[in-house]
Amino acid sequence: MKNLTALSVKTVQGELYVLDQTLLPQQQVWHSCKTVPQMVSMIKALQLRGAPAIGIGACLLLAYRASVGDSREQLLLDAEVLRAARPTAVNLMNNLDSMIAALKQTDFTLTAIACAEQLFAEDVELCQRMAEHGAELVQEGEQLLTHCNTGGLATAGVGTALGVISLAHQQGKNIRLWVDETRPLLQGGRLTAWECQQLGIPYQLICDNMAAMLMARGQVDRIFVGSDRIAANGDFANKVGTYSLAVLAHYHKVPFYVVAPHTTVDLACADGSAIPIEQRHADEVRGVSGAFGKTVWAPEQAPVFNPAFDVTPAALVTRWVFDTGVYSHADIAAGVLQQFA
């Protein structure tokens, strides 16, 4: 397998390494990942996260396992185990479908490796196209807002929503970015803020509940978010708190964009009600943990509701930014997403 390098995953002499995102920004630690249980654990613990990155990581692991001699039958079983690691992120399922097809070929080791390398390269290209389409929407001097982490940590390339924002910055548009902290796991505060510092993007970190005040003051010109799954009607699932932002943006007449590769579209979901929403561990809400340690502020047995994602109705979206272009409500109603079948 080729040596491949992304912000969150890399291969070195055929072996796979994953950047532990739970330790950022204080520590940058790469873990070797050689087994399926390791990968599942990393995905569930959010050491590897972001819908495109999860899919790429899982496929690179299968390619590695094929290269060290695992049987076709074992690899097909492993693919199903990996598929169940995160139920909402459809990129994982789509990428694994491609790998399964490769594993069914005669020389499955070579085809699996080639497939994983192709999926990696494809994601890099998709990210660049999304960035170019989305950056055209950004005007000089605008103040943007984003939620969760949608940059290189979440993809093989420059990212989805943060890729758009980064390119607008590189184009000299003199933008400023509001970064939602993104409770309960603080992906904005820990990861997006870290990426912005690496990229030199002017930003300010805010608590999630400050966005409404900024919109009311006219200090948000556009909002860009990512997605883990987009239904056939344009409804989409993203990190919990996205729906709240969309409602606020609608009330304050702030343009609201979802940025995602076409691999995030799931035509089997007619609308958002069919998207499975992962429930995560109660401890994530009772306190917080990271490289800094663990703090618990709620009663140890406090009942908790902790969905990882929420669903934003298509009616609240201004435009959908894909690698193939920017689409309106009329486009979605006309079935433009069917091209991704």
Q: Which residues are catalytic?
A: 228
Whole-Å CA distances, 294 to 45, 149, 252, 290: 15, 22, 37, 7
